[in-house]
Structure formats: C-alpha cells, structure tokens
Amino acid sequence: MNETGSAHRMVRELSDFYRIGVSKGENLIPLREELLHVTSYLSILRTRFEDFEFHIDVPDQLKDVYVPKIILQPLAENAVYHGIRGVNAGGAITITGRALDGDLLLRVADDGNGMEEEVLSGIRASLLDSGPSGETQVRVYGLNNVHQRIVLQFGERYGVSVESEPEEGTTVEIRLPLLTKLQGGHGECQKYYL
C-alpha cells in the first residue's frame, strides 16, 4: 500500500515500547526511558489516528532520575481516548516535568473534552479509595493502578491528582520523590536534590 516508511516507523516504535515495558524486570527506570516509552506509544497512536499532536517538555537534568515504569502511558492513553479523540480533532497532549521542593512533578495535559464536576469528584474519590471493596461508582483502572503503585512504593505524600474543566481539558499530575540510582545498590535508590 506504499506505506513502507510508516510501517517501518511503527515497527521501531513497537520495539521500543515493548523493550522498555519489560525493562529487564526492574521496577524503577530512568525517566528518559519512561519518556521514550510514552513517546513510542503516542507515536503509534498518531500513526493510526493522525488527528492529534503531542509535546514533551522535561529538562535534561531530570531525565536521569528514577521513576516507576509504565506510569505515563496509561495517563497518555486516557488523554487520547477520553480527552481529545472524536470531539476535538487536532487536539494536543503535553507532558511536562519539573522539580519542586525535592519532588518530581510530571504532568499529562490535554486540551480536549474535560470533565463535569460530578465525574471529576468520582475520579478523585476513586483515587482515595485504595481498597477493592469501595463504594465509589467511578473507576479509572489505569489511573488507579498508577496511583496505588506510587503510594505503595513511596507513601501517601506521593501519587496522582486530577484537575479538569469542561471543554478546556484535563491535567493529571504525578508527584514522586526525586531518586537517583546508587552505584551497585541492587535496585536501591536515594533521594536526589537539585
């Protein structure tokens, strides 16, 4: 179908996506690998849909800090499928990172549909309900999974928060400690200060 260049790019993106997803069994990976993972995922979707853009803005000095793997892809997937697909053709997703008070803040924002207050309140309540028997009606499995993994690993101070305005978009923020790998530390990390 004369799309060999596009097929070649997609195969390369799939290769990166799966390689980083496996990550040799490591739970913590450098942020640069997590960013490559989400870039591969979004590039694959953009090859398929061609109706959105994405931008990543993370300072180089933060790309060597360690983060739990597969925390950005579920949020980017939500941004595409629930934020901009079908309603806001030509929408955009922006992923940013910055250091603040010894923590790493990662944001996934879209300029799509946004949410009504009732839905947003349900999602926030779902994030607070860590037990499987909760009464919350709204379940966002990828978002909950990312949040619960972070809280279990680093404590209640860290995790996911959500802001949204109808017709203006949604921003999901991940708060993590700034971590750097110890030399020969068998997967142990230490706090990293900028």
Q: Write the pLDDT tens digit of every residue in 161-176.
A: 999 999 999 999 999 9
Q: What is the pLDDT of residues 80-127, one digit of tens each?
A: 988 897 565 679 999 999 999 999 999 999 999 899 999 999 999 989
Mean pLDDT of the chain, nearest integer: 83
Give the integer Cα–Cα distance in Å for 68 and 104: 12
Counting every residue, how long is the chain?
194
The per-residue b/e assignment along 115-147, b for 16 or more CB within 10 angstroms, e otherwise, is beeebbebbbebbeeeeeeeebebebeebbebb
Q: Give the helix/strand (H/E) hosting 48.
A: helix 31-49
Instruction: Flag whether pLDDT at 32 surpasses 60.
Output: yes
- Any idea where the domains of the chain sit in the sequence? 4-180
pTM given for the model: 0.81
pLDDT for position 89: 65
Give the integer Cα–Cα distance in Å for 66 and 182: 11
What secondary structure letter does DSSP report for 98? E
56-69: average pLDDT: 97
C-beta neighbour count of 52 within 10 angstroms: 22
Least confident of 7-16, 38-47, 133-142: 7-16
What band does 133 get if pLDDT is binned at 50, 70 and 90?
very low
Give the integer Cα–Cα distance in Å for 9 and 186: 35
pLDDT for position 88: 54
Angle 51-57-58 from CA coordinates, rounded to 5°: 140
131-137: average pLDDT: 47
Least confident of 17-31, 40-54, 66-80, 145-159: 17-31
pLDDT for position 128: 86
Question: Architecture of 4-180 per CATH?
Answer: 2-Layer Sandwich (3.30)
Q: Which residue has the higher pLDDT, 144 or 26?
A: 144
- φ, ψ of residue 82 to 5 degrees: the values are -105, -20
Task: Check: CB of residue 135 under 8 Å from CB of residue 117.
Answer: no
Q: Give the helix/strand (H/E) hosting 68.
A: strand 66-68
Instruction: Flag whether pLDDT at 186 surpasses 60.
Output: no
Give the integer Cα–Cα distance in Å for 170 and 115: 7
β-pair partners for 173:
107, 161
